[in-house]
Amino acid sequence: MLEGRKVVLAYSGGLDTSVCLKWFEEQGAEPYALYLDLGQGEPAEDVREKARAIGAREVFVWDAREEFARDYVAPAIKANALYGGRYPLFTALGRPLIAKKLVEAARRVGATHIAHGSTGKGNDQVRFDVTTGSIAPDLTVVAPVRDWNMSRPEEIEYAKEHGIPVPVTKESPYSVDQNLWGRSIEAGPLEDPDHEPTPDVFELTAEPEEAPDEPRYVELGFEEGLPVSLDGEELPLVELIARLNAVAGEHGVGRIDMIEDRLVGIKSREIYEAPAALTIIQAHRELESLTLTKDVLRFKPAVEQRFAELTYDGLWFTPLKSALDAFVDETQKTVTGTVRLKLYKGSSIVAGRSAPRALYSEDLATYDPESTFDESAAAGFIALWGLPARRWATVNPDPEQIPPAGRPHLK
């Protein structure tokens, strides 16, 4: 079926995609590799040489960090996108971009197939397949790991037999995915939800008990919902995220250990590191509380949840997602200001916030006699506000709510 076919593989350099590349060659296909730099931190030449050594006819190594930050991470920040209220979706956000670039590479070499290294139990298979179908339905998607039924130990043995260098051993069998927005670690002993992760699992974050004894304050500046400065220095989003990852990670901030509901219907135990993502979203939410009206703040979380679900479920390029983007963008026009955070031994606490268009007014909120709030208007407001409740009670008295006669009603 694949003999003589050109196949462009989304190549990460890890175990699954390295084995896939060799497997395609054994099937008689012409494999091409696409490595998209989303901030993984691996030298491009190392990736290129590894893929060529395994058998790739050509290796595309493209730097997509700015596009990823601008077109995928930025909308997620504005939407406070957290799947299950905790996971900042860094893997899910990268998949539609990778699929888009796979199609671009396939058009360039005249390939009829694109491929990925996702398993049949994961979410990424859905994201790659659905996204490709949304933008290039003429291409065929191949997922060898989903079809060949090799276990992870068997993949490791296959790699050894074929001289494929992969950073995985039986002693350290973790599956890792990383980009500038975060890092995920799974498999091996982490599949036991009662197993506490050992220090070797983490790379971006320090053990909280070993973090510095002095707290670190950071100040994030936002313009229309997006972070634009760190400690007063204006930075491009990619660099700001990288610096904040380092600072917050040094103080043990950004670890997530959660039971997650996968799209395919199973629960999975997930370990994430996302120092910058969690602190930015925390600060962004705080700034929204200062600049958005109560009704918007009450309604927006429902939009945020649906945004996160669409992202997680591989429905990035859909009409509903575009409509939600429009709503979120409208809410962000006044979300400009600064938020100060205190980082200390695994925690991030808001220490201050300010905004030029803040709806908070100290003159109204203060209890000092100089307050501009007209307290005399409160009695009339309460009378009208409680009118429906009083009218209901008058027409429909509830005997159980009426104190016995002659007995004092204790509050």
Q: What phi and psi values does residue 106 have, to the nearest 5 degrees?
A: -65, -40
Q: Where are the alpha helices (DSSP H) in 88-236?
A: 90-109, 124-135, 144-148, 152-161
Using an 8 Å Cβ cutoff, are 12 and 37 in contact? Answer: no
Catalytic one of 65, 95, 183, 255: 95
Cα separation, 335 vs 97, in Å, equals 27
138 is catalytic: no
Catalytic residue check, 192:
no
- Verify whether residue 340 is a known catalytic residue: no
Q: Which one of the listed residues 18, 37, 124, 353 is annotated catalytic?
A: 124
Range 80-84, long-range pairs (CB < 8 A, 24+ positions): 80/281, 80/284, 80/285, 80/288, 80/300, 80/301, 80/304, 81/281, 81/304, 81/307, 81/308, 81/311, 82/281, 82/304, 82/308, 83/260, 83/308, 83/309, 83/311, 83/312, 84/258, 84/260, 84/261
Which 8-state DSSP code applies to residue 401?
Answer: G
Structural tokens at position 64: 């997509």
**Measured CA distances, 254 to 5, 139, 209, 247 (Å):** 44, 39, 14, 11
Cα separation, 284 vs 79, in Å, equals: 9
The catalytic position among 16, 37, 129, 177 is 16
The one catalytic residue in 134, 146, 175, 243 is 175
Q: Is 368 one of the annotated active-site residues of the chain?
A: no
Write out the catalytic residue numbers.
16, 95, 124, 175
